[in-house]
Structure 1
Amino acid sequence: MGLEQIKNEFNAIAKTIYFDKAHFLREKASDEKAVRIFLEKVERLLQENDRKLEELYFVYGVFGNLYRVIGHPKKAIHYLQQALCLAERENDDSRKVVFLIRLGEALKYNEEHEKALKTFDKAMDLSDTLQVRKYNDFIFQHKGKCLLELGHLLEAEKCFLEALHIRKEKGDPELVASTELAIELVKKSK
């Protein structure tokens, strides 16, 4: 199975992922069995073959996201740390920021909220230092969700408003809608 086939199957699996409004908009899968089957297949392939760097980045990122979504945050953390190590070794600034954001989210799902917040802050510091700001809206969004889970509503709302501002500038209606949903959740929680 090549990278294109993995991406195609992942895109189909990604359609089963939704935001759980009853659980702080955490991502969940409506078909966990399909996600597990996909993960097992790709994991076997990963062990059988030497993978190119691009494939490893993609696969580790997918594993990190999907294991988190199906309730295995420790596995997610493991793969995301591997991806982050690759990005650091390759001095890939953009990917360092991306994988820090994903790692922060996995830490949150593992109920390590304070560690997650520190990881989001590290992503923001790195983003500012390296001037890789195209992911700042994601940092604000995920940090806001973490703060929301901790009950820090004013701080969470501030993060969501920052994310919303950036996302409106980007002009991505799907991202704007997800942030507006998070702001609504904050208002309902007050």
Structure 2
Amino acid sequence: MLQHLITQNEDLRMIPTDHDQLATAVDEIREGLRALPAGTDADRTRVLARWIGIGLLSLGNYHDARAFLRQALDLATSGGNTRAVITTELNLGDAYRYAGEAETAHVLYRQALDTAQSQHPELADFALQHFGKHLMEQGDLVLARAHLREAWRLRIAKGDPGLIESTQAALDRVELLIASS
């Protein structure tokens, strides 16, 4: 929904490709969320809230991002959608990590990884990638490398060049940090 307006910076964090365009797009999605009629499918509300949260996160508005991502997580949980719980926990973890709240981020990443490994192994690479980047920022470089290597292995098996490239960038970064420590 907003992927084309979001990229990663040198610290492997989401940032806008164009700040004004992303802000406008987020505002449009917010209006769409507000305009939903009563009784709208909870999944539609969840998806819109999640993308608003991701957009706000990329724009640096961590407080509001967390509110929308929490709403999306609550809807995913109440709807029993464990795939959406995993992906939203990862996004919410990012919102806490970007805001410097590492302990809360750690808990969310751990929950997402545990659930992915036990219930949705096809999402394990995403959880490992997010958790690995968190661990890297926290200075646990050996464990970060292990998580990222496993994510890389799983992504090679998936055969998605974009995912492989993303993980390779994170691995390169952690290897550089290890070499310089």
TM-score normalised by the chain length of structure 1:
0.87
Where structure 1 has 5 or more consecutive residues not aligned to the other structure, the ranges are 1-6
**Residue 74 of structure 1 pairs with residue 70 of structure 2:** no
Q: Select the residue among 3, 12, 17 that pairs with 2:6.
A: 17
Residue of structure 2 in register with 1:89 after alignment:
78
1:47-67 Cα distance to aligned partner (Å, 9 max, x none) = 233243232122112112111
Shift of 1:69: 0.5
Q: Distance in 1 between matches of 2:29 and 2:4?
A: 18
Q: Select the residue among 31, 51, 72 that pairs with 1:62.
A: 51
Q: Distance in 2 between matches of 1:145 and 1:163?
A: 11
Shift of 1:15: 2.1
Q: Which amino acid aligns with 1:106?
A: A
Q: Select the residue among 139, 163, 176 that pairs with 2:164.
A: 176
Q: Which amino acid aligns with 2:153?
A: H
**Paired residues, what number?**
176
Q: Select the residue among 6, 13, 31 that pairs with 1:44.
A: 31
Q: Distance in 1 between matches of 2:141 and 2:112?
A: 22
Residue of structure 2 in register with 1:189 after alignment:
177
- Conserved in 1, the CA contact under 8 Å of 2:117 and 2:124? no
**Residue 28 of structure 1 pairs with residue 15 of structure 2:** yes
Q: Which amino acid aligns with 2:13?
A: R
Residue of structure 2 in register with 1:4 after alignment:
none
TM-score normalised by the chain length of structure 2:
0.91
The alignment yields a C-alpha RMSD, in angstroms, of 1.4
Residue of structure 2 in register with 1:165 after alignment:
153
SS in 1 for 2:34: helix
